[in-house]
Amino acid sequence: MGQHLNGKVALVTGSGQGIGRAVAIALAAEGAKVVTNNRSPVKKNVANQLDEKKLARLTPEQLKWYNEEIEKYTGDAETTAAAIRAAGGEAAAFFGDLSVFDVAKKMVDFTVETYGSIDIVVNVAGGFGFAPVDKITEELWDRVNDPKPKGYFNVIHHAVPYMKKKGWGRIINCSSPAWTGGPIRQCEYCAANAGVVGMTWGLATELAEDGITCNVFAPAAKTRSSVDAELIDKTTDVDERATKDGQPFTSYDESQPPETFSAFIAYLASDEAKDVTGSVFMTMGGFIGRWANPTMEATMFKPEGWTMETVLEEAPKTLFKDYKNINQK
Between CA 62 and CA 45 the distance in angstroms is: 17
Regarding whether 100 and 169 lie in a shared domain, the answer is yes
Between CA 287 and CA 283 the distance in angstroms is: 6
In a domain, 232, yes or no: no
CB-side exposure of 323: number of CA atoms within 13 Å?
11
Regarding whether 319 and 278 lie in a shared domain, the answer is no
The pLDDT of residue 46:
65
Do residues 121 and 171 touch, judged by C-beta distance below 8 A? yes
In a domain, 112, yes or no: yes
Beta strands 91-95 and 9-13 are unpaired
Q: Which residues are catalytic?
A: 189
The pLDDT of residue 241:
65
Residues of the chain scoring pLDDT < 50: none
Between CA 281 and CA 277 the distance in angstroms is: 11
In a domain, 198, yes or no: yes
Regarding whether 323 and 269 lie in a shared domain, the answer is no
Regarding whether 301 and 286 lie in a shared domain, the answer is no
Regarding whether 315 and 186 lie in a shared domain, the answer is no
Between CA 285 and CA 22 the distance in angstroms is: 13
The pLDDT of residue 16:
95
Total domains in the fold of the chain: 2
What are phi and psi for residue 21, nearest 5 degrees?
-60, -45
The pLDDT of residue 139:
95
Regarding whether 274 and 319 lie in a shared domain, the answer is no
> What value, to the nearest 5°, has the Cα angle with vertex 167 and ends 166 and 172?
100
- Specify the pTM: 0.92
Regarding whether 114 and 149 lie in a shared domain, the answer is yes
Q: Which amino acid is at 69?
A: E
Between CA 21 and CA 259 the distance in angstroms is: 9
Those residues with Cβ within 8 angstroms of residue 6's Cβ, 6 or more apart along the chain or in another chain: 30, 31, 32
The pLDDT of residue 223:
79
Regarding whether 164 and 307 lie in a shared domain, the answer is no
Regarding whether 194 and 162 lie in a shared domain, the answer is yes
In a domain, 149, yes or no: yes
In a domain, 268, yes or no: yes
The pLDDT of residue 280:
98
Q: Which domain holds residue 262?
A: 9-41+76-221+256-290
Edge-to-edge strand order for the sheet containing 120-123?
91-95, 33-38, 9-13, 120-123, 169-174, 212-219, 280-284, 287-290
Q: Alpha carbon 90 to chain centroid distance?
A: 24
